[in-house]
């Protein structure tokens, strides 16, 4: 009787083959979908079908971090070098600084792991991303909540320097506060 139970619980050859086909189709669909999404999002050309597909998949591309900016290449490469820091001030006026990872300061392995931070930091100061600023500020302030006294204020600051080809020295970075707000402890993560 036990032997019969074992045979009944073991999938038949046809069931195993069907399951393998379903898995194979699911994996191939996943791969093809992401290839189409990445190509449509990253191609620097704008024919009507690609623009339509790009419009449909763009929220997913942003959410997953699969976007690619082509501004690194000609004809108009970036003319500024920039990075972001967050500054959290507690009520005793102690300053806590949280720097976003900078690729030039990381090892090759760390660069690979933190590439999404670079992409995030590239687009975060843009005015169309203003809806994210309060959440980012709260998240960073929450990291200092247990270390500091009562928190007072958080600022997101972008530092920019002009890229001057052939210059002997790099111009100094200019700070620009693009978001600041008072900390409300009940809203911290």
The pLDDT of residue 156 is 96
**Token pair in block for residue 151:** 């928190």
Distances (CA, A) of 139 to 15, 81, 84, 150, 181: 48, 25, 15, 15, 13
**37 and 118 co-located in one domain:** no
DSSP E strand stretches across the chain: 80-90, 95-99, 151-162, 174-182
In a domain, 72, yes or no: no
Q: What are phi and psi of 22, to 5 degrees?
A: -65, -45
Q: What is the mean pLDDT of residues 39-57?
A: 84
pLDDT score recorded for residue 73: 63
Buried b (16+ CB within 10 A) or exposed e, 126-159: eeeeeeebeebbbebbbebbeebeebbbbbbbbb
User: Which of 133, 176, 156, 151 lies closest to 95, judged by CA?
Assistant: 151
Q: Which domain holds residue 159?
A: 80-187
Task: Let me know if residue 75 belongs to a domain.
Answer: no
Q: What is the pTM of this model?
A: 0.65
Q: Per the domain annotation, does 183 fall within a domain?
A: yes
Same domain, 57 and 86: no
Query: Do 84 and 58 lie in a common domain?
Result: no
On average, the pLDDT of the chain sits at: 83
| pLDDT band at 7; cut points 50, 70, 90 | low
Number of separate domains in the chain: 2
164 is a domain residue: yes
At residue 111, does pLDDT exceed 90? no
pLDDT in tens, 141-152: 888 876 656 788
Residues 133, 72: Cα–Cα separation, whole Å? 25
Q: Within this chain, do residues 48 and 103 fall inside the same structural domain, yes or no?
A: no
The better pLDDT of the pair 75, 184 is held by 184
Which of 12, 37, 64 is the C-terminal boundary of a domain?
Answer: 64
pLDDT of residue 46 exceeding 70: yes
Question: Do 58 and 86 fall within a single domain?
Answer: no
For 131-184, what is each residue's pLDDT tens digit?
999 999 988 888 887 665 678 899 999 999 988 888 888 889 999 999 999 987
Percent of the chain beyond pLDDT 70? 84
Q: With respect to residue 84, please indicate whether it lies within any of the assigned structural domains.
A: yes
Last residue of a domain, one of 34, 64, 94: 64
Interatomic CA distance for residues 160 and 187, integer angstroms: 30
3 state SS of 162: strand
Do both 141 and 166 map to the same domain? Answer: yes
**Secondary structure class of 161 (helix, strand, coil):** strand
């Amino acid at each position: 009787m036990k032997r019969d139970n074992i045979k009944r619980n073991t999938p038949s050859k046809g069931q195993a083959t069907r399951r393998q086909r379903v898995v194979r189709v699911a994996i191939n669909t996943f791969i093809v979908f992401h290839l189409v999404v990445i190509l449509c999002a990253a191609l620097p050309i704008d024919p009507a079908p690609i623009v339509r597909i790009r419009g449909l998949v763009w929220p997913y591309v942003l959410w997953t971090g699969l976007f690619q900016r082509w501004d690194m290449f000609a004809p108009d490469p970036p003319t500024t070098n920039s990075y972001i820091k967050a500054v959290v001030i507690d009520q005793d006026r102690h300053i806590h600084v949280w720097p976003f990872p900078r690729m030039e300061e990381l090892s090759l392995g760390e660069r690979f792991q933190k590439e999404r931070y670079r992409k995030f930091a590239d687009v975060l100061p843009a005015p169309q991303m203003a809806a994210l600023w309060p959440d980012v500020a709260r998240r960073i302030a929450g990291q200092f909540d247990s270390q500091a006294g009562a928190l007072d204020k958080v600022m997101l600051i972008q530092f920019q320097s002009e890229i001057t080809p052939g210059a002997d020295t790099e111009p100094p970075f200019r700070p620009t506060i693009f978001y600041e707000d008072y900390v409300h402890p009940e809203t911290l993560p």
